[in-house]
Amino acid sequence: MLGPLDYGFSILSLMIEAYVVVCLCVSKNYLRYLSLNIYMLAAVGVTIGQDVALLHFGVSSQVYGYVYYYTDALLTISLFFVIMGFYQQVFHQMGVGKYVRWASILLLSATALFSYLVVRRMPSHHLTNRFVVEMSQNLYFVGVVLTYLLWGAVVKLRETRTRLIQLVLALGIFFSSEAAGYALRNLFPGLEANFLKWVPPIAGTFLPLAWAYTFTRIPEQARLETARVARVPAQQLTAHQHS
């Protein structure tokens, strides 16, 4: 049985996702963040679809389970294209757009192959709790790795666009919290009922909220010194000693 908090998160994330799309359309940035927009529109559709399935079949039905976990997996895969869009923006000046496109095709193929192998490994093709948790955990972890590499590129190339930096970092927080949440569910299934069930709705609301905030507050021309953001204590202490 879902409570008012579950519905609250669902409605809130739906509204913020729609807001991000409207915000980008109004500011004429729709094409610059095309993959992000497509993801947000897909997220709106998925949230509505999940709510319809919930109302028709109930939270404990297998149909709702299928709809929830498979649409979630598809959304995660579509987020990989958002990451690729960010890669393209970061590497734009180096003229490696062609390689990024190839990398995204390769990534999609690898993800499809991986998902197929996971499904084939199952003794029956029924949706089991362990299967969906493992599959989501792995997909989100791929997202963590991709975002981490992107963040590394942002720092190495001394990217200064504040908007891009905040969009990437928010994505990193989303992916890593989801991956950690699913891994913990895999390790300690008992924690799910009280604590871990809140990780997906909180992370799912945080991401559009942080993006909405960035698009509303941070102008496109705002700049930030990446070194100030990314320096870890050891590096800072060394710099302090040298100075």
Partner 1 sequence: MIAALICVISVAALLQFFVSYSRSVIAAYQKSELSEQVREVARIEGQQVRSEQFGQLVQLVRLCPQKSDDQGDLAVVRIYYGMMGWLGALARSVAPGVCKWAERERVNCTYFAAVALDRRIAYSRALLAQQMSEH
CB contact set of 8 (below 8 Å; sequence gap of 6+): none
Q: For partner 1, which is the closer residue by CB, 60 or 243?
A: 243
- Taking CB under 8 A as the criterion, the residue among 216, 219, 220, 239 binding partner 1 is 216
184 binds partner 1 (CB under 8 A): yes
CB contact set of 49 (below 8 Å; sequence gap of 6+): 67, 71
Q: For partner 1, which is the closer residue by CB, 96 or 230?
A: 230
- One-letter amino acid of 134: E
Please tell me the count of residues contacting partner 1 according to CB under 8 A. 42
Q: At its nearest, how many Å lie between partner 1 and the CB of residue 78?
A: 20
The residues facing 93 across adjacent strands are none
Range 199-216 burial, b when 16+ CB lie within 10 A, else e: bbbebbbbbbbbbbebbe
Q: For partner 1, which is the closer residue by CB, 100 or 179?
A: 179
- DSSP-assigned letter for residue 1: -
**Would you tell me which residues interact with partner 1 (CB under 8 A)?**
134, 137-138, 140-141, 144, 147-148, 151, 162, 165-166, 169-170, 172-173, 175-177, 179-180, 183-184, 186-187, 209-210, 213, 216-218, 222, 224-225, 228-230, 232-234, 236-237
